[in-house]
Amino acid sequence: MSANALYTDLSGYYDLMCAGIDYQAQSHSIRRLHQIFGNGGNTHLDLACGTGPHVRYFIDFGYQSNGLDINQPMLDIAKTRCPEALFSLQDMSTFNVTEPLDLITCFLYSIHYSDGIEKLKECIASVHRALKADGVFCFNVVDKDKIDNTLFVKHRAQQEDDLFTFSSGWHYCGDGEKKSLKVSIEKTTITDTQIWHDEHPMVAFSFAELLEILTPYFDVQIFEHDYEKIIPWNKTSGNAIFTCVKI
């Protein structure tokens, strides 16, 4: 299947695939970080918004929240979930906004979908242009040097009479700026089992490399990848939440 097949042809399964994600906890945690580091505004854009669950929570928090993604089938579902929001079909590396924003988010490691370091740099520059003074950019990332290729996350979900098993994990060869997210979906019905495999090319970087890109644009704070508590990064874990204030 092509790099984005699971997110287009199987977009109807996406919410089921992500059923174990606590979108509310993630959204609340980033709202708290925005309250601490932000400018007090309430305009928000979610990059790579998918089917819009984070946008839904930010609207419920009182934000003027909108979303952006490169896959129209995802945006169609998002519009049904959040009819009051505006959803834009754009590449997050080169997106434009009509008015500057107070908060931009990118959840679920989606910033890694930038196609290489140069595209990542374009994304960072686009975010900087789109933010108001003292606006905040929040996203989560994984350090390429801390990736364990043997680790996979797996969960099962039931949809009517069908049983789905979802599995995903990072793979990094140990060199360069390319890694991949390996994903599989197994659908078991009364009569048979179908299995889809997909591999998404993603950009790989260390936290040090990321900081070098961010610091000309932002004052950067790094926190542990914990949506229940706000804890400074311990400088050893390979997953973190970056909170970046426009300078």
**In the chain, what are the domains?**
5-143+204-246 (3.40.50.150), 145-203 (2.20.130)
pLDDT band of residue 14 (cuts 50, 70, 90) is confident
pLDDT tens digits for 170-180? 999 999 999 99
pLDDT for 231 beyond 90 = yes
pLDDT for 93 beyond 60 = yes
Q: Is 31 exposed, middle or buried (0-12, 13-18, 19+ CB in 10 A)?
A: buried
Lowest mean pLDDT: which of 19-23, 87-91, 138-142, 173-177? Answer: 19-23
Cβ density class 229-238: b for 16+ within 10 Å, e for less: eeeebeeeeb
**What mean pLDDT is predicted for residues 9-27?**
85
Which residues fall within 8 angstroms of residue 152, CB to CB, at 6 or more apart? 167, 168, 169, 182
Handedness of CA 206, 211, 214, 216 (dihedral sign): negative
pLDDT tens digits for 31-57? 999 999 999 999 999 999 999 999 999
Tokens 């994990």 appear where? 169
Confirm whether pTM is higher than 0.85.
yes
